[in-house]
Amino acid sequence: MNEPGLRDLSCADDYDPNSMPVDKAREVIARFLTPVSATERVHVRSALGRVLAADVISPLDVPAHDNSAMDGYAVRFSDLAADGEVTLPVAGTAFAGAPFAGPLPAAQAVRIMTGGVVPAGADTIVMQEHVNAAGGRVTIGKGNRKGQNLRRAGEDLRAGAPALRRGQAVRPAEVGLIASLGIPEVEVYRRLRVAFFSTGDELVSIGTVPKEGQIYDSNRYTIHGMLERLGCEVMDMGVVRDDPALLEAAFEKAAEAADVVITSGGVSVGEADFVKELLNKLGQVVFWKIAMKPGRPLAYGRVGNAHFFGLPGNPVSVMVTFYQFVRDALLKLSGRDPVEPTPTFKVPCTSSLRKAPGRTEFQRAILTRGTDGQMTVRVTGEQGSGILRSMSEANCFIILPTDQGNVTPGTLVEVQLMEGVI
Ligand code: AMP
Ligand code: MG
């Protein structure tokens, strides 16, 4: 194997494993991500949410013909008067889908509608608002420019040129663009297969009445939802008890079936050694304490041939570490190229925030537009990593950088939306 081993990495890299900076962790993970290579052909509609595995080459010029950008009259510029007016007979019409037969006769005009094919010989479109039309003739004033209001064949896209690039995600705009080229099927990467399970003796699944000390497993549901949103093929492997033999069996089964294995729980202090031992046997894993809140413990590595993300157990930590580390990694593995970091921007924060320097914080927050039209952000309230409601109420994260201390109301803070527009 040419890939650098994870063990090499943990030795070679200059970082404190008990306080790994967020950016460093992202950078290290990125080194190991080789995208899926298998592809399949799908119908253009089914391509929504998939990643293109080949450039989409335009089989035609777009637009296919010189056409009018306006409702008006197609003329020869040389028939117009530089100063004063000219009156031309109207030879016929060119409607969208119903062209004028033949070339534009000398010293005449053709009535043309938006999208109508420009008759041969015509080089200028005069807007209908700028003419006087009466009795089969049209009077055109001065001030026209040669070539105005005319869209040239191939102006948007030339036949043979790439309309879309390999690695691009197919959104509704791409579906429409592919359809506009008359292409029925496209080549996409196969979906990334992701297996996941929850660990913990205290967990019960919905449908079971929890006994004292037991709680419902929610992480499997959030993880399932986040994976579905990314277009992954998901394998929900249920809850696995904190039992070495059961965990080993679950890891082996997951690694055999999937490209990526995600677990939650069992990586915090007290449990880490046990899971660590197991994973060192089954693969190669680096355990990190990330300098972040929430989501401090995180494991990353390989189990068998699968990538492995060991997320913390607390429900909010699961979502934050998923969005901040796993999401981009899965996009990259799915063939997305490039994977741009989720955009952030700065707005004034109306809450007062407590923050200790030394770690990156991802506070759950609500971005709103006030009656004055200004955007501001406020936190959702209690920020405990077990309070899943803080994620549900939030529409964004406030990202407080490592060196940041307490925040007073009115300070500009960095905000990252949780929801894309598309
Ligand atoms: P752990 O890292 O396994 O010690 O878990 C940390 C905390 O998260 C504990 O309070 C767990 O009960 C809780 N937790 C772990 N897994 C889940 C889960 N799947 N759903 C809800 N809470 C969980
Ligand atoms: Mg646990």
Q: Is the pLDDT of residue 88 over 70?
A: yes
SS3 label, residue 249: helix
Question: In the chain, what percentage of residues exceed pLDDT 70?
Answer: 96
H or E stretch including 112?
A: strand 109-112
Q: How confident is the model at residue 124 (pLDDT cuts 50, 70, 90)?
A: very high
Q: Are 197 and 329 members of one domain? A: yes
Residue 11 pLDDT exceeds 80: no
Mean pLDDT of 263-280: 81
265 alpha carbon to ligand 1 midpoint, in Å?
5
> Going by DSSP bridges, is the β-strand pair 86-94/137-140 parallel, antiparallel, or unpaired?
antiparallel
Average the pLDDT over 364-387 and give the result.
95
Residue 185, phi then psi, degrees to nearest 5: -135, 150
Distance 199 CA to ligand 1 centre (A): 8
Q: Rounded to whole angstroms, what are the CA distances from 176 to 48, 94, 179, 286?
A: 10, 26, 5, 44
CATH number assigned to the domain comprising residue 161? 3.90.105.10
Is residue 89 in some structural domain?
Answer: yes
Can you give the length of the chain in residues? 422
- 248: part of which helix (H) or strand (E)? helix 244-257
With contact defined as beta carbons under 8 Å apart, do 40 and 52 qualify? no
Judgement on whether residues 181 and 205 belong to the same structural domain of the protein: no
* Same domain, yes or no: 365 and 403: yes
121 lies in the same domain as 12: no
Query: Considering 131, 165, 189, which residue would you say is the last residue of a domain?
Result: 189
Distance 250 CA to ligand 1 centre (A): 18
Q: For 265-324, list the strands marked E by DSSP.
A: 283-289, 292-293, 297-303, 306-311
Query: What confidence tier does 280 reach under pLDDT thresholds 50, 70, 90?
Result: confident
Spatial contact of 264 and 247, defined as CB atoms under 8 Å apart: no
Q: Are residues 178 and 210 in the same domain?
A: no
Residue 230 lies in a domain: yes
Q: Nearest to residue 228, comparing CAs of 190, 197, 189, 194? A: 194
Is residue 197 situated within a structural domain? yes
Residue 85 lies in a domain: yes
Beta bridge partners of 213: none
Q: What is the CATH number of the domain that holds 122?
A: 2.170.190.11
Confidence of residue 5 (pLDDT cuts 50, 70, 90): low
| Type of residue at 15 | Y
The count of structural domains within the chain is: 4
- C-alpha closest to that of 324 among 79, 24, 108: 24
- Do 377 and 304 reside in the same domain of the chain? no
226 with 294, same domain? yes
- The number of the ligand 1 atom at minimal distance from the alpha carbon of 218 is 20
pLDDT at 12 over 90: no
Q: What is the average pLDDT score of the chain?
A: 93
Burial 25-41 (b: 16+ CB within 10 A, else e): beebbeebeebbeebee
54 and 161 together in one domain: yes
For atom 3 of ligand 1, the residue with the nearest CA is 265
pLDDT digits (tens, 9 = 90+) for 42-57: 999 999 999 999 999 9
Average pLDDT, stretch 244-259? 96
Would you say residue 293 has pLDDT above 70?
yes
Residues 115 and 204 in one domain: no
At residue 18 the predicted structure's pLDDT band, cuts being 50, 70 and 90, is: confident
Tokens of 232: 């992954």
Q: What is the pTM of this model?
A: 0.91
- Token pair listed for 182: 């008359």
Whether the per-residue pLDDT at 1 is higher than 60: the answer is no
The minimum-distance atom of ligand 1 relative to the CA of 220 is 19
Could you tell me if the CB of 265 is within 6 A of ligand 1?
yes
Q: Are 297 and 365 in contact (CB under 8 A)?
A: no
Q: In this structure, are 256 and 201 located in the same domain? A: yes
Q: Which two tokens stand for residue 289?
A: 């304490």
Over residues 281-292, the pLDDT tens digits come to 999 988 789 999
Do 100 and 71 share a domain, yes or no? yes
CA distance 356 to 353: 10
List, for residues 298-317, the tens digit of each pLDDT value.
999 999 999 999 999 999 99
pLDDT at 413 over 80: yes
Domain that holds residue 170: 49-62+156-189
220 and 321: one domain? Answer: yes
